[in-house]
């Protein structure tokens, strides 16, 4: 018989450990180590360094334009230390390097190069919601492995339960759902589930679970807004 040996990689940092669970390839292992061992915030001291940082498309980049000792700088460095493996963080200390960007602001650049300015309060809840709402997929399918990553981020979320046994109807609904998500992505996260498999989750959002397709919005305060289950769900009504 042939026995395969798999690498087990665990990194300890600031008293916390993170276990690698990705593909067992050298490039993937190396990328994991690079993220885990890099400094939480990269100082961008020249315009050239800033441009190179903006040009990186490997992961989302978050840049603070904040002078040393400022309230934003203190918050940003603490946030980056806690989330260094999720985003690439950079900081600019001087307006000469910032150029057209205003100091004491934050810029998010996604992997497509789109830029989003943060104008909210400097606290963990609001800032994390801003990052999540602009970097999570426009519409995400929920399954048993990823549902926990959606629920704790405290975004208001639209939940669409689709009927996988009616693929044509589902395709039409998802096409409209994507267009709605594009319009309201700043306000809501958008997810969908295979209704026949996850019907048991519908009552948690206020739905009966007796009809598919079904749609509801659950806001971050616990409020529930339901599509009338007595009506047929045509794409035009979403």
pLDDT digits (tens, 9 = 90+) for 160-203: 999 989 888 888 888 888 888 877 876 788 899 998 888 888 99
Query: What is the reported pLDDT for 31?
Result: 79
pLDDT band of residue 4 (cuts 50, 70, 90) is very low
**pLDDT classification of 1: cutoffs 50, 70, 90:** very low
Supply φ then ψ for residue 105, to 5 degrees.
Answer: -135, 170
* Better-scored residue on pLDDT, 28 or 156: 156
User: What residues form DSSP beta bridges with 137?
Assistant: none
CA dist., res. 4 & res. 41, Å (int): 38
Give the residue carrying structure tokens 């409020």: 223
Q: What phi and psi, each to the nearest 5 degrees, are found at residue 112?
A: -95, 0
pLDDT tens profile 218-231: 887 888 999 998 88
Q: Which of 23-32, 71-80, 185-194, 198-207 has the highest mean pLDDT?
A: 71-80
Mean pLDDT of the chain: 84
CA angle 139/21/146 to nearest 5° reads 25
Return the DSSP state at 237. Answer: G
Split at pLDDT 50, 70, 90, the class of 2 is: very low
pLDDT-based confidence at 149, cuts 50/70/90?
low
State the pLDDT confidence band at 27, using cuts at 50, 70 and 90: confident
The CA distances from residue 207 to 2, 23, 171, in Å, are 51, 38, 22
Q: Which residue has the higher pLDDT, 92 or 132?
A: 92
pLDDT above 70 as % of the chain: 88
Residue 23 dihedral angles phi and psi, to the nearest 5°:
-60, 145
pLDDT of residue 16: 78
What pLDDT score was predicted for residue 75?
A: 97
Question: pTM above 0.75?
Answer: no
pLDDT in tens, 88-123: 999 999 999 999 999 999 999 987 678 899 988 999
- Beta carbons of 238 and 185 less than 8 angstroms apart: no
- Burial readout 40-60 (b: 16 or more C-beta within 10 A, e: otherwise): bbbebeeeeebeebbeeeebb
Q: Give pLDDT, residue 3.
A: 45
Distances (CA, A) of 41 to 45, 90, 94, 200: 12, 5, 16, 43
């Amino acid at each position: 018989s042939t026995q395969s040996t798999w690498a087990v990689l665990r990194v300890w940092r600031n008293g916390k450990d993170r276990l690698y669970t990705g593909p067992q390839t050298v490039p993937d292992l190396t990328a994991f180590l690079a993220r885990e061992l890099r400094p939480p915030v990269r100082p961008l001291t020249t315009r050239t360094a800033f441009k190179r940082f903006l040009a990186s498309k490997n992961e989302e980049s978050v840049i603070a334009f904040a002078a040393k000792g400022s309230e934003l700088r203190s918050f940003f460095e603490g946030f980056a230390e806690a989330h260094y493996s999720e985003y690439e963080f950079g900081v600019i200390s001087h307006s000469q390097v910032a150029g057209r960007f205003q100091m004491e602001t934050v810029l998010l650049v996604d992997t497509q190069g789109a830029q989003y300015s943060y104008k909210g309060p400097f606290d963990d809840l609001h800032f994390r919601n801003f990052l999540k709402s602009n970097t999570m997929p426009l519409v995400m399918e929920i399954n048993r492995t990823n549902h926990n990553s959606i629920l704790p981020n405290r975004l208001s979320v639209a939940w669409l339960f689709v009927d996988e046994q009616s693929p044509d109807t589902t395709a039409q609904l998802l096409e409209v759902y994507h267009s709605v998500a594009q319009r309201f992505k700043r306000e809501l996260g958008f997810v969908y589930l295979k209704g026949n498999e996850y019907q048991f989750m519908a009552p948690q959002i206020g739905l009966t679970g007796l009809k598919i397709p079904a749609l509801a919005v659950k806001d971050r305060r616990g409020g529930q807004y339901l599509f009338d289950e007595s009506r047929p769900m045509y794409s035009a009504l979403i």
